[in-house]
Structure 1
Amino acid sequence: MLRNNPSSTSVSRVDPRRWAALAVLLIASFMDAVDVTVVHIALPDIQAETGASTSQIQWITGGYALAFALGLITGGRLGDLYGRRRIFLAGVAAFTATSLLCGVAGSPDVLLAGRILQGAAAALMVPQVLSIIHVTFPERERGKVFGIYGSVMALGTLAGPLVGALLVQGDFFGLGWRPIFLVNLPLGAAGLIAAALLVGESKAERAARLDPVGMVPATIGLLALVLPLTQGRELGRPAWTLVSMAASLPVLAVFVLWEHRVTRRGGSPLVVLSLFTRRAFAGGQGAQVLFGLASGVFFLARTLCLQLGLGFSPLKAGLSGMPLSVAMMAGAGLSMQVLVPRFGRRVLQAGGILAAAGMVLFAVLATRHGADIPLWQTVLPLVPMGLGMGMTIAPLTDLILADVPHEHAGSASGLTSTTIQLGQAVGVALSSIVFFDHLGPGGPAGQAARTPDAFAGSLWYVAAAFTATALALTALPKRAGTKPSAGAEPEPEPQLQATSVAA
């Protein structure tokens, strides 16, 4: 069994169970990747059965992303401190239990609570996967293993909408949408047993300490911003919503001041603020947030438009999104293997513009045809959008980290993974303004006729966010792979570097 120091990995100490352990870790990663995307396709059925309001529908998707984002860095540090295998098992157990809670929820409030807890459980589980891979496999095998990991994550993102559609439309045992959560139970139980038997324990020799005090203003500040955006429309935007959004700024300022204090005292802040003095890092995080914001608005609005406004079945809606996922994978492979090594940052910027062009095309077609838009015209704009998203998001982490000192690489990569999740949570919340406001009052049946127009209007905001992403990318270095030298280079603590986009 391997212990703590990945740099001391040798042939004689390689765990013979490592490939079996990898299969267990990949199952957990696949569960998370599927769960991010599987819920969208079931939202109309969830709303119809539970009577969920539009704000509750937003929280069912955005609440998971927000809890996941807020817990990622702390989840990784818990594994370093108390044992990655131990925290991984706790995360899988919690993810399985919260999946059961979601699957048996009798009201939208219970489902919403389950989704938030599920996101927190994923924040415990997911960061341990790359960490365990890093300390379990020798350096000569890691490239192959990380390639397999990336393929599984891509497959999960690709399979999520289709799996959700099959489970919802199949209506197994008369359970409707509930199997999209209950399917995690046998997978989670098998994963717990297998991980206990096959995955070795490891800890970091010099793990960064937790910063629980810093979590408080960060969480309160983000909730003060997201809550009124999500709830304000249904409540008639009372004065407290404006006060709450205004109050989020000083609360987040308190968080920044606390992180400065922790840094001055030699502690371990949640966020290494000095990283933001680097133009490339700050611009890259801005691009991540904008990218997440665009995808958060688009995928929620598109799902409701296709099923409520155009009358697509869950399976038809799921299949119509497949070209987007395939195009994303193609764009990612093309950019990483061919284009970025030759053209650098310009490839990512071109990807942002291409994705924006796809949204403009979609907006024009949806405005022209409304509810009578042909199926092929709902699919066509997804191709340039998917290519552009893949070209942008796949190489972004490498370019962001190119200007980061090696001693901060672990913190920087963890924060980079967090920002896109935060962007998605804020994007889902902003749907109240850019999508649901145009639907007007009434239930799903009354809103159905207005859904195509509301969707078309929201696409202009999505296109603007992708364009702003391309502009923010001008802050990044022109070439990838130009990380600064720092003498003796310590190997950074592994953090979550793969992000899921709700395709």
Structure 2
Amino acid sequence: MSSPIASPAASPAATSASSASSSAASSSAPDPSPAVPETGRAGGGGGDRRRWLALAVVMTAAFMDLVDVTIVNIAIPSIERDLGATFGAIQWITAGYALAFAAGLITGGRLGDIYGRKRLFLIGISGFTVASALCGFAAGPEMLVGSRLLQGAMAALMVPQVLSIIHVTFPAHERGKVFGLFGAIVGLGSVSGPLLGALLTQWNLFGLEWRPIFLINLPVGVAGVLLGRRFIVESKAPKALRLDLVGVVLVTGALLMLIYPLTRGRELGWPLWGHVCMIGSLGVLAALVAYERRKARKDGSPLIELSLFRVKSFAAGVAVQLTFGVALGIFFLVWTLYMQIGLGWSPLRAGLTGVPFSLAVSVAAGLSVQKLVPRFGRAVLQAGALTMITGLLLYIGAAGRYGLEINSWQMAPPLLVMGAGMGLIVAPLTDAVLSGVPREHSGSASGLINTTQQMGNALGLGLVSVVFFGVVDDRPANAMREAFADGFQHALWWVVAVLAVIFTMMFALPSKRMTDNG
């Protein structure tokens, strides 16, 4: 939830930030009231303090998910050494979570509408805690990858319920304050995740090396389950809905057919079956579209509301989210590999190096929403893309100039510029995308937005095989550090190109900020 912004290699850093807001809303923002007594709103007038305890529970779960996304990548080199994991497995430790999260978000939101948001939240946080334990005690890379997939799937049940629970728990006049707190939690998670991961890895608690980054979730998760059972009020959609199981199977299959061969292709020598799967995924997506159209005509409860794509701003915004996720997926993973393997830095040094980036994102995000977007509209997002490109070019120049002797303070200026650019994009983008969406479809739209973010992130992580390891693999073993440095610069040029495409695509977004319909 997912994101936003993490430091080293937290691929969903920015994704997590807006994912934290848009995905959590995916369950059913359009439902104005729950199918429970109005006391479910905890008094509405401010007398019932239980709702604030419920808020603390769901906020903690959102924080735990965001930190878990951003905490892992900083420990990747330690995981690689301890488990003897291949780079393909390393990619799946990050991409697998994002893929399972993306594939399950829409389904998780719909399940909350049907069976109860509190129930799904408790199932999700319980499963997330169990999966964290499995990750922490993983005996090998295969078990860790499988546990990360389970963790992502459980997050997909937990995260979409967060803003829905807030929506039905707090009256309208209090939600501004609550969402402000929510934004602060997202910012705190983006900064603290990489630092916490670096500290836990560096301290090597009880000789467990990287494992505490997962095990730390256990007491938090158990407390969340116990307090959630007591303080969260149950709510459901006011009308009966049906789960589109065929749609779930088709969308999950299409994602797996695309991402799996892309991630494993380099390690397996790019086999023919991989190319067939990637091409075949387009056919599965076409079948999904055809089925969802038929499903909408038949009973009005498709998994994906295809009519949303007739809204120009939404269609363009989803394309921007997908492409932006690709850029982030490439940058954050390559960034960590560059600092910790290419430059030989410790996890703590790498984590501290990313602090200026995270702080710049937080500051710029606040300014963009409160001051800039209401006045300048779409131009703020485009300025963010150009600012990120400027930061990347500065980074390429610094990496080329100083080589393997580059220091953290020499990285700070480009990281500040990049962070400022990202902050101008991630905070207002979801609102811009949803601005033209009818109120009754805002929940479905939010789910689609976050799913495409996570899918783009997983795709970007898969592309690391091409844009980074394609350079590294051509170098002799005795020049591996130089190869990682060169691969990093090469990958940054790819990110620059992707951001240039994003800048162009943003012309299809609303030129001025419109009233939120959701």
Q: Paired residue for 1:55, among 88, 100, 115? A: 88
Q: Deviations over 1:121-174 (max 9, x none)?
A: 001111111111111111111111111111111111111000000000000000
Is structure 2 residue 292 aligned with structure 1 residue 270? no
Q: Deviations over 1:264-319 (max 9, x none)?
A: 11331121111112221111011101111111100000001101011111100000
Q: Which residue of 2 aligns with 1:250?
A: 283
Per-residue deviation, 1:242: 1.4
SS at match of 2:160: helix
Q: Paired residue for 1:411, among 432, 444, 449? A: 444
Change (3 A) 1:350 1:6: farther
TM-score by length of 1: 0.93
Q: Which residue of 2 aligns with 1:319?
A: 352
Q: Give the Cα–Cα distance (whole angstroms) in 2 for the partners of residues 378 and 168 of structure 1.
A: 23
The one-letter code sitting in structure 1 at the alignment partner of 2:409 is: W
Q: Which residue of 2 aligns with 1:197?
A: 230
Unaligned runs of 5+ in 1: 485-491, 493-503
Q: Paired residue for 2:395, among 351, 362, 368? A: 362
Is structure 2 residue 237 aligned with structure 1 residue 188? no
Q: Which residue of 2 aligns with 1:495?
A: none
Per-residue deviation, 1:446: 6.5
Q: Give the Cα–Cα distance (whole angstroms) in 1 for the partners of residues 453 and 348 of structure 2.
A: 28
2:67·2:189 contact (CA, 8 Å) conserved in 1?
Answer: yes
1:21-170 maps to which residues of 2 (within 5 A)? 21-170=54-203
1:289-300 maps to which residues of 2 (within 5 A)? 289-300=322-333
Q: Give the Cα–Cα distance (whole angstroms) in 2 for the partners of residues 269 and 158 of structure 1.
A: 38
1:4·1:204 contact (CA, 8 Å) conserved in 2?
Answer: no
Change (3 A) 1:235 1:347: same
Q: Give the Cα–Cα distance (whole angstroms) in 2 for the partners of residues 16 and 381 of structure 1.
A: 45
SS at match of 2:268: coil
1:308·1:444 contact (CA, 8 Å) conserved in 2?
Answer: no
Q: Give the Cα–Cα distance (whole angstroms) in 2 for the partners of residues 200 and 42 of structure 1.
A: 37
Q: Which residue of 1 aligns with 2:258?
A: 225
Per-residue deviation, 1:411: 1.0
Q: Give the Cα–Cα distance (whole angstroms) in 2 for the partners of residues 53 and 467 of structure 1.
A: 32
1:459-470 maps to which residues of 2 (within 5 A)? 459-470=492-503
Q: Which residue of 1 aligns with 2:372?
A: 339
Change (3 A) 1:476 1:313: same
Q: Give the Cα–Cα distance (whole angstroms) in 1 for the partners of residues 384 and 402 of structure 2.
A: 27
Q: Which residue of 1 aligns with 2:247?
A: 214
SS at match of 2:233: coil
2:257·2:278 contact (CA, 8 Å) conserved in 1?
Answer: yes
Q: Which residue of 2 aligns with 1:501?
A: none
Is structure 2 residue 433 aligned with structure 1 residue 400? yes
The one-letter code sitting in structure 1 at the alignment partner of 2:355 is: M
Q: Which residue of 1 aligns with 2:4?
A: none
Q: Give the Cα–Cα distance (whole angstroms) in 2 for the partners of residues 12 and 387 of structure 1.
A: 38
Q: Give the Cα–Cα distance (whole angstroms) in 2 for the partners of residues 309 and 135 of structure 1.
A: 49
SS at match of 1:395: helix
Is structure 2 residue 454 aligned with structure 1 residue 421? yes
Q: Give the Cα–Cα distance (whole angstroms) in 2 for the partners of residues 308 and 426 of structure 1.
A: 23
Q: Which residue of 1 aligns with 2:424?
A: 391
The one-letter code sitting in structure 1 at the alignment partner of 2:295 is: V
The one-letter code sitting in structure 2 at the alignment partner of 1:301 is: V
Q: Give the Cα–Cα distance (whole angstroms) in 2 for the partners of residues 31 and 140 of structure 1.
A: 27
Per-residue deviation, 1:445: 8.1
SS at match of 2:436: coil
Is structure 2 residue 488 aligned with structure 1 residue 448? no
Q: Give the Cα–Cα distance (whole angstroms) in 2 for the partners of residues 6 and 119 of structure 1.
A: 33
Is structure 2 residue 181 aligned with structure 1 residue 174? no
Q: Which residue of 2 aligns with 1:17?
A: 50
Q: Deviations over 1:163-195 (max 9, x none)?
A: 000000000000000000000001111111111
2:475·2:483 contact (CA, 8 Å) conserved in 1?
Answer: no
274-283 vs 315-324, greater mean Cα deviation: 274-283
Q: Which residue of 1 aligns with 2:21?
A: none
Determine what percentage of the aligned residue pairs are the same residue: 53
2:40·2:235 contact (CA, 8 Å) conserved in 1?
Answer: no
The one-letter code sitting in structure 1 at the alignment partner of 2:425 is: T
